[in-house]
Amino acid sequence: MVKRALLSVSDKTGIVDFARGLESLDIQIISTGGTARILRDSGIEVMDVSDVTGFPEMMGGRVKTLHPRIHGGILSIRDDHDHMGEAQKAEVEMIDLVVVNLYPFEITVSKEGVLLDEAIENIDIGGPAMLRSAAKNYRYVSVVCDPDDYGHILKEIRSTGVVSPKTREVLAVKAFRHTADYDATIDTYLSKELLGEEVLRLSYKDGVTLRYGENWHQAAKFYKEDDVTGPSLANATQLHGKELSYNNYIDADNALQTVKELSCSNAAVAIVKHNNPCGLATGDTLLQALGAAWDGDPISAYGSIICTNTVFDLQAAEFLNGKFIEIILAPGFEPDALEYLKNKSANLRLLELPELNEPFEVENTYKFVIGGILEQSRNVGIYDKWDCVTETPYPEDLRAVSEFAMHACKCVKSNAVTLAFEYADGCYMMLSMGAGQPNRVDSIRKLAATKARENLKVMYDREITDMSYEEYCNEVFAKCVMASDAFFPFDDSVVHAEENGIMYILSPGGSIRDQEVIDTANRLGVSLVFTGMRHFLH
């Protein structure tokens, strides 16, 4: 039975109502300092810790709960004869419930200009000691460090007079996790302030075993980042289909980031295969965007992952009839579309992420290598400048499709180029891309240009009747923009682009041969913009 509770909290949220609930159950309340004052001011009867220990709070409150009559009452094993005999001899009374949260160290050190002395004073000592003591003795003591738990704890005590063993186990783990995170924050701060050392501590939980890793013989798990919020696969709900694999997570994350890169008001669709967007488009409707994205590489789209920024509707679902898709990730699914897609395949994974269109809250990204981890800030933005460096001016009416091309290029593995054009008024598609080549020239001449012609042949056969295929290609290429993720080390990239009728190019610039590249562009009549921002993606 819960007979005595110790309450000592920095975060006073909900503590009065919780204490009032305990009092109504005839549970004696012990408290300290500010917590005791706020409870008494609310008319709740409280016993001071100093009345339990027989010692006043000392040294400005630094010493108050570090006493055998507190920790003995928490740590005593109730069915151990020796423990209970020693407790009786020392007049130690049992404490059945410990409710503690800690000095706000993380909030304190996040303030601009905080002094070391202020940070030190916000290192809690007695609080973690009580949490750990209670958590260690979870078979007999309930420990609460989160105000969100007050309600269901009261409900259990009202119902049975005790906190259930399972709940005590959960609370104990939560308390140890809380003190571990608290100590990690202190370590990170003091390591930098006192030793000049940078410490990185990451927290993940809820490890789920996946079917396999990148290959069948590799084991894999997915761990959720602690307290992750916003658009993340960790927050997606699977509505249908078999469990996700390691590669599914990688590709779906790429698709999510690619769609969010566009940040457009109309529908956007990314189609990802092997961690590269093979299709990307915007449209006035989801169906239009999906069709244009599919045209970006109908062959690679087989077995792909689709992500969109809008609710998936029946028309888009019907477009996928006869097409093999691994995953669809969307903010939601219309009921008839959901039913249609469920009937399409038992294996098709449908992931709902209502937060998909919210901003990313993470500032850094991480990549593990053998023996270490790399940290970098997120790649935000697409250009530092917009500098037309050629005699042929860059048309302002190509600005929007050019920005689309560079957004797409950011999401393609380097060395990357993308070809994009405005296929309908205000709607853009990635006509093709060249990805992952050791040199950019091959990305242009062997991949992007060749693939664009293959895609245009499919589109030509479907819808064009008033001109030859070659005329159609020339007309589209004349309107295309080519974006490069890095500078051109030689002028051959410009040469091969012009050979295919591509006359508008974006590049970060910055090569020692920039002038040679510019001279070649001028000789060929190509319009070239330097953006000043590189977008390697490894």
**Residues with catalytic function:** 136, 274
Residue 217, token pair as written in the block: 């013989």
As a whole number of Å, the end-to-end CA separation of the chain is: 58
Q: Which whole-number Å values give the CA distances from 439 to 7, 137, 301, in the listed order?
A: 65, 62, 25
Which residues share a beta bridge with 365? 376
Q: Of 277, 339, 328, which is closest to residue 537 (Cα–Cα)?
A: 277
Residue 230 is encoded by which pair of tokens?
């916003």
Distance CA 92, CA 427 (A): 75
Helix (H, G, I), strand (E, B) or coil at 203: coil
Q: Two tokens at 516?
A: 């040679």
Are the CB atoms for 320 and 330 separated by under 8 Å? no
Strand order in the sheet with 237-240: 237-240, 349-352, 325-330, 304-308, 267-273, 276-283, 427-434, 417-424, 481-484, 504-507, 527-530, 387-388
Cα angle, residue 432 at apex, residues 430 and 436 outer, rounded to 5°: 115
Q: Which residue type does 259 have?
A: V
For residue 285, the Cα-to-chain-centroid distance in whole angstroms is 27
Using DSSP bridges, classify how beta strands 304-308 and 325-330 pair: parallel, antiparallel or unpaired.
parallel
> Are 5 and 30 in contact, with CB atoms under 8 Å apart?
yes
Would you state the structure tokens that stand for residue 455, as one six-digit string? 């895609």
User: 282, 427 in Cβ contact below 8 A?
Assistant: yes
Q: Sign (positive/negative) of CA torsion 461, 467, 470, 476?
A: negative
Here the tokens at position 52 are: 């339990």
Contact (Cβ atoms closer than 8 angstroms) between residue 349 and residue 238: yes
Q: Which of 483, 464, 496 is nearest to 419 (CA)?
A: 483
**Where would I find the H helices in 388-491?**
399-410, 440-442, 449-463, 469-479
Alpha-carbon span 230 to 82, nearest angstrom: 52
Coil/strand/helix, residue 432 = strand
Judging by beta carbons within 10 Å of its beta carbon (0-12, 13-18, 19+), is residue 484 exposed, middle or buried? buried
Cα–chain center distance at 168 = 31
User: Do 105 and 186 form a contact (C-beta atoms < 8 A)?
Assistant: yes
Token pair for residue 347? 């294996």
